[in-house]
Amino acid sequence: ADLVAAAVVDVSMIVHLSKLYALPLTKNEAGDLIKTIGAQMVLLMGTVWAVHFISSALKLGSWGFSSLITGGAQGAVAYYSTWIVGQAAERYLAQGKSWGEGGPKLVVREILDNLDRDSILKQAKADIRARLQSSAQG
């Protein structure tokens, strides 16, 4: 269910980005773009998604108590993955719906190589705090 929700968010984000670049994409095209980006991410980041598998296995073996432990890790992976998808889609759209000579693998690799994980996690925390504060006030 988490992966389906993330895919829906990613499709919506890419459709919105495509409008910002005046290169509209349909939901199907956005879905295809996510598949392309996702395939490259799997090749380059397979171990990150192992967290989802391990946390699922722990949930089954611990009657759900591991959710307290793995929930933060899963949230970080989801935020991180969505951020990478957004960055890759932005590069694709900024280049006129083109990956360039290196293709999607090079684009994703460059994003990962230049990624500051600590900054992304700090931003995630700030975003979550801001949402919680606005929810509490509204």
Q: What is the pLDDT of residue 95?
A: 94
Q: What is the pLDDT of residues 59-97, one digit of tens each?
A: 665 555 555 555 666 677 777 888 889 999 999 999 999
What is the value of pTM for the model shown? Answer: 0.69
Dihedral pair phi/psi, residue 87, rounded to 5° = -65, -45
- On the CB side of 110, how many CA atoms lie within 13 Å of its CA? 12
pLDDT-derived band at 122, boundaries 50, 70, 90 = confident
Q: What is the pLDDT of residue 127?
A: 83
Instruction: Please report where in the chains the tokens 């392309």 appear, as a residue.
Output: 36
The two tokens of residue 40 are 């490259």
Give yes or no for a contact between 6 and 84, defined as CB atoms under 8 angstroms apart: no
Q: What is the 3-state secondary structure (H, E, C) of 16-29?
A: HHHHHCCCCCCHHH
Q: Which of these, 40, 33, 37, lies nearest to 11 by C-alpha position? A: 33
Number of structural domains, the chain?
1
Q: How far apart are CA 92 and CA 4, in angstroms?
A: 23
Helical H segments across 62-116, by residue range: 67-94, 103-113
What amino acid occupies position 37? I
**Positive/negative CA dihedral, 114, 117, 120, 126:** negative
Q: Which domain holds residue 15?
A: 2-137
Q: What is the pLDDT of residue 89?
A: 94
The two tokens of residue 68 are 């307290």
Q: How far apart are CA 77 and CA 84, in angstroms?
A: 10
Q: What is the pLDDT of residues 17-58, one digit of tens each?
A: 999 999 999 999 999 999 999 888 877 666 556 666 666 666
